[in-house]
Structure 1
């Protein structure tokens, strides 16, 4: 197997004549042109390409690469993993390494592009998305856990569901909410989302959630949760954390820890769904965001407000969350005057 090589040891990087500080700055700023997770994936995928090249007999030149060898490598990955994601990752990593090094990019070749498209078609699998949670299911959860209860675990799951649904929250946005991110007003609350999947420049965004005064009102449930959890208004802690049972008081309290884990949050939601007689296999944590988005779209909320509320950057991403109801779909043929 070949050595592990960083993308910045290739092409012109190996021959740049400058001070160590300038070179380090160049590398640092180029790294930051991608998100941390994307750069890690590119580096791993590029090194996997190098190791494959060294494993061939005779050894294949990994850099600069030929379009023929890159095509053979993509075919190899497609056969080995049968995964669109794995092939895409390799393609974009090799392409980026050549671009950043100022070297002719083999991934621009029609041959490589054709092989990539073929691998995508052959590896494509039907996507089975989880169903959106409806307001009726939310009502059942709140009736079961939130109405008349003073139990911290019960109020916590009710609050998590209502906030995620009403603010179109991704899981990471929900669990990273801190008390300092929440501002209550007379008729609404504001959630400051400091870090989001689509916020690549980390400018943050505010999501407004209206006070409805219903049993399923996120505003009221959040206030109740903060009170029962004993989270002070001037606290800077994560509001959704793991719980500990205090035998002395006979009550639950929040642990002094980081945010709730994905696996635990998913378990809590699925248990709640099962307890109200819903088939939990059809749903996941993303079903709350999808459910809120679907309800808003079917209610005729404008695209501009819809995208802003959900922090989507494109129409394609936004539309992927919406499950139109039959009435909305019928409106197309009903408008044809036949």
Structure 2
């Protein structure tokens, strides 16, 4: 007969493992955000002598009204809504956010607290050629790193997290193109992996050549597990990548990318997402690129997601009325 103490220990282990597996049903960043949002809800309930778990729908409604009264943004309010939903479903408890009152309050927040999306401006290939021509003979690691990020992000329609998570071993140089292995992507939630193909060009803004120049200057092997784009430092006028295997932060990457792009586009509103949107826009407005290939290259699940990145050229927009032959 199995000892009761051993049985209890096994059950505790299984219960602990179950909790860990359940938390992995969402991305780590999402789990962290939801935990923080639910903690704020718990604090509100504690101050007002209310029960946070399980919570009644009227309590959740009161909390959302409280956030609205404080002038919180739709992002904050929706995060609170989904955090409360997540915790209750995770604990197999009745979901208070299913209430019509709660859902209508979320819609209210969307109407009165949403801010217009601020789309970044588009850079074109000619601008990038002009930029790269300024560094045509450079062997500086920092300069080549920034230019490589720009060209790879532009040609591969890469999101920042896809760009920053690239390892040296994720780059495979073929005779006439590069294959980038995207190990982790926003649209690849089950981590099946994606490959992005970038053709070898013939101008100073060729991503293939620029990446080769950068990798040669940085003296790292293509089979290395190191991040492709790492922080760099200058010493006695020479730049080098840090030895620590640490990827470049979003803040620093944005600063470097925007600073470079501003050289050729000083009046444009730019950010890291400018690369993805600009590359997609230029390809979409070119003739001969199929919509299916465009969507596959950008790893978009839907046409709605794809179209949100693309700005139609004036010529294409005018073609609609020109086709009327008025």
Aligned to 1:189: 178
Do the aligned partners of 1:164 and 1:288 also contact (CA within 8 Å) in 2? yes
| 1:262-300 alpha-carbon deviations (Å, 9 max, x no partner) | 2222222222233335225x1011101111011111125
Counterparts in 2 of 1:118-197, with a 5 A limit?
118-145=108-135, 147-197=136-186
Give the TM-score normalised by structure 2.
Answer: 0.90
2:6 equivalent in structure 1: none
> Hey, what's the Cα distance between the residues in 1 that align with 2:323 and 2:116?
31
- The one-character-per-residue Cα deviations of 1:60-109 (angstroms, maximum 9, x if unpaired) are 23233222221111111122143101111111111222223333222111
Partner of 1:34: 26
* Contact 1:273–1:279, Cα closer than 8 Å, also in 2: no
Q: Is the 8 A contact 2:145 2:214 kept in 1?
A: yes
Match for 1:290 among 277, 287, 312? 277
Selected match of 1:22 from 10, 14, 17: 14
- Specify which of 84, 89, 100 is matched with residue 99 of structure 1: 89
What TM-score comes out, normalization by structure 1 length?
0.87
Question: Do structure 1's residue 214 and structure 2's residue 206 form an aligned pair?
Answer: no
1:323 aligns with 2:311: yes
- 2:7 corresponds in structure 1 to none
Q: What are the ranges of 5 or more consecutive residues in structure 2 without an aligned counterpart?
A: 1-9
Alpha-carbon spacing, 1:67–1:336, altered in 2? closer, same or farther (3 Å): farther
Q: Which residue among 298, 302, 305 is the counterpart of 1:310? A: 298
Alignment length (residue pairs): 316
Out of 252, 255, 277, the position equivalent to 1:264 is 252
The one of 216, 227, 230 aligned to 1:227: 216
Query: Are the aligned partners of 2:157 and 2:298 in contact in 1 as well (CA < 8 Å)?
Result: yes
What is residue 253 of structure 1 aligned with on the other side? 240
Q: 1:302 to 1:48 in 2, by over 3 A?
A: same
C-alpha separation between the residues in 2 aligned to 1:127 and 1:235? 39
Contact 2:129 2:203 survives alignment (8 Å): no
Q: 1:144, 1:276 within 8 Å by CA — same for their partners in 2?
A: no
Structure 1 residues 106, 203: closer, same or farther in 2, change over 3 A?
A: same
Stretches of 4+ aligned residues off by more than 4 angstroms? none
Pair 1:85-2:85 in alignment: no
User: CA 1:137–1:74 in structure 2 vs 1: closer, same or farther (change >3 Å)?
Assistant: same
Structure 1 runs not aligned, ≥5 long:
1-17
1:75 & 1:225 partners in 2: Cα distance?
A: 53
Deviation per residue, 1:34-65 (Å, 9 max, x gap): 11111122222222112111212xx2232332
What is aligned with 1:10?
A: none
